Amino acid sequence: MTDPFKDIRPYNNDEIRPVLDSLLANAEFIRSIAGFSYPRLFKLAPSLLCWVARRKLTAQLQNVNDVKSMQDIIALYMDKMIERTTTSLTHSGLEGLSRDRSYLFISNHRDIAMDPAFVNYMLYHAGFDTLYIAIGDNLLKREFVSDLMRLNKSFIVKRSLKGRELLKSSKQLSEYIHHCIATHCNVWIAQREGRAKDGIDKTETALLKMLALAPRPKPLAEALRALHIIPVSISYEFDACDALKGSELYQKKELGSYQKDEQSDIKSIVTGMVGFKGHVHVAFGQELVLDTDDDEAIAKMVDKQIIHNYRMHATNVLAVEQLRTLQPNLVPALSDEGLTVLESFVVDAGVKGQFESRMAAMDANIRRYVLQMYANPFFSRYAQPADSLTDV
pLDDT at 216: 77
- Pair 11, 71: CB distance under 8 Å: no
Instruction: Please name the helix (run of DSSP H) or strand (run of DSSP E) that holds residue 131, with its range, or none.
Output: strand 131-136
Domains of the chain: 65-309 (3.40.1130.10), 314-382 (no CATH)
Say if strands 278-284 and 229-236 run parallel, antiparallel, or are unpaired: antiparallel
What pLDDT is attached to residue 262?
Answer: 67
Q: So what's the pLDDT on residue 44?
A: 93
The two beta strands, 104-107 and 131-136, are unpaired
Q: Are 220 and 212 in contact (CB under 8 A)?
A: yes
Q: Please tell me whether residue 282 adopts helix, strand or coil conformation.
A: strand
CB 108 within 8 A of CB 234: yes
pLDDT in tens, the chain (392 residues): 689 999 999 999 999 999 999 999 999 999 988 887 888 899 999 999 999 999 999 999 999 999 999 988 888 889 999 999 999 999 999 999 999 999 999 999 999 999 999 999 999 999 999 999 999 988 877 888 889 899 999 999 998 899 999 999 999 999 999 999 999 999 999 999 999 999 999 999 999 999 999 977 899 999 999 999 999 999 999 999 999 999 999 999 998 888 887 678 888 888 999 899 999 999 999 999 999 999 999 999 999 999 999 999 999 999 999 999 999 999 999 999 999 999 999 999 999 999 999 999 999 999 999 999 999 999 999 999 865 555 55
Quick one: pLDDT at residue 388?
52
Predicted structure pTM score: 0.93
Q: What type of residue is 13?
A: N
Evaluate whether 187 touches 134 at the Cβ level (below 8 Å). Answer: yes
Residue 207 main-chain phi, psi, to 5 deg? -65, -45
DSSP symbols for 9-61:
SPPPHHHHHHHHHHHHT-HHHHHHHHHHHSTTGGGT-HHHHHHHHHHHHHHHH
For 197, phi then psi, to 5°, come to -65, -25
